[in-house]
Amino acid sequence: FPNYKQNPNIMNIVKTKRLNNIQFYPKVNEKKQIFLHHTAGLSADSAIAWWNQTPEHVGTAYVIERDGTIYEVFPPECWGYHIGMKGDDDFVEKNSIGIELVSAGGLVKEGEKFIFYPLYPNKIKGFAIKPEDVVELENEWKGFKYFHKYSSAQITAVCELIADLTKRFKIPIQDNYEKFFEYNLDVMRKHMPGIWSHSTLITYKADIIPYPEFLKALNDTFKSLKGLGSADKPKEVPKIADPIPN
């Protein structure tokens, strides 16, 4: 892919953990958006292993481990399903880059412990998260008040990766970026370029976690990148039926 070259001075992107070739689509598409996710799991290995055993071509180009290591699991020029929407002929899936941060997501407080239940509300098996890795939100987010916060190393890494990808793929930062994680179906309907979150398009998704430390770092990054030019006014596209989450 000669047209898109990683800036070697930005960060070290590791390519030792890859998705099987049949798990993503090798067709190159123009990239207009970046979507942030978290894995609802405890390691990059578990996320990648899960994707590799499913037939639905699910996966994001990048997974950021708790220590800040960035794994590129398939070329960002290509695409896989990472949003889970129907109704736009897969435009968003094909024309966006997905980034996953390793995080358990929402936690249940039981006594003095914070428990991650992978199949919540089923509590068959849970994993305790260290208190120092937990953030308590002022208000509930998607039914949870406690979350497995993103590590400082992850926050630094995702900000650097966003800066790199927006420059490489000429993805503009939207003007109203402070609330990028809030539900806004126009992002899909109008093909609005910029940086978004899984929760932007699906109301029940909790990724990303909107807590102050993380949002400040992202907003500072977005603000600095605005010097590259603001997002173009989204063009009107033909009205489509309301999309349905998978």
How confident is the model over 211-220, as pLDDT tens digits? Answer: 999 999 999 9
- Are 134 and 147 within 8 A, CB to CB? yes
DSSP state of 161: H
* Residues contacting residue 191 through CB under 8 Å, at least 6 positions apart: 32, 91, 92, 95, 234, 235, 237
- What does pTM read for this prediction? 0.88
How confident is the model over 30-60, as pLDDT tens digits? Answer: 999 999 999 999 999 999 999 999 889 999 9
CA distance to 68, 88, 169, 187, 213, per residue, from 62 (Å): 12, 23, 15, 21, 22
How confident is the model over 72-129, as pLDDT tens digits? Answer: 999 999 999 999 987 778 999 999 999 999 999 999 999 999 999 999 999 989 999 9
pLDDT of 12 higher than 90: no
Rounded Cα distance, 43 and 22, in Å: 22
pLDDT of 203 higher than 80: yes
Sign of CA dihedral 80, 207, 50, 56: negative
